Structure 1
């Protein structure tokens, strides 16, 4: 087996951080409302299968109860990850192509100031605007106690 590992967000944290970060980064609020539990269940089931395939007992590593209890720790990290990355991951293709097709624009975007690109995308692209604003709305919901997972 071969596995690619992206170390840019490496840290010591419960798996729920990765699961919820991915859910928040790649989905919109309505999708999460409808499918978050299903996605988390799918993840945990596959986690257990992977552990069992290697001759071990999943509960020796992480029980479902422990996983579920770790969500309170995971949510603020996942929301932060989403807020940090959403404006990159959802950037409209025309903007991405323009920026990453020119080294000087790439340096400007990555190292100096990306505000004009983000503001233009927010203004011109409804999907981008909705996803970025969903992320901010989730952060507000979290701090007001309205975000429940």
Structure 2
């Protein structure tokens, strides 16, 4: 039973951690959007895309959750190795949490600059992709772990 609890804790981390990071990151971008709309309401489409970008980290966590949950190892007979592997994979998503928050900050700065009249949407998108890479790596690592159980 303890092994099952450890495994389900890992599954919970896959949802909770990137979800918290995405919620914070999207909120940071959305808060910047509210202020930017006062200056340039015509750029709402750009603001919206930049605000929503941090939400993708939560999707990586959910995808990892789905991969692990679809495996048939979640029974009371789960091995200590499999339980620890699932927990470790969930813990990897601390990276996604941090990346989502930092990405939200990058996007908020881009939103502020667009509101100031600077044409930086494309450059902001390029720079905002860099933190995304680490969530992709977290997902890839979790996927590789899932293949070993």
TM-score normalised by the chain length of structure 2: 0.30
- Between the two structures, name the one with larger relative contact order (CA 8 Å, sep ≥ 6): 2
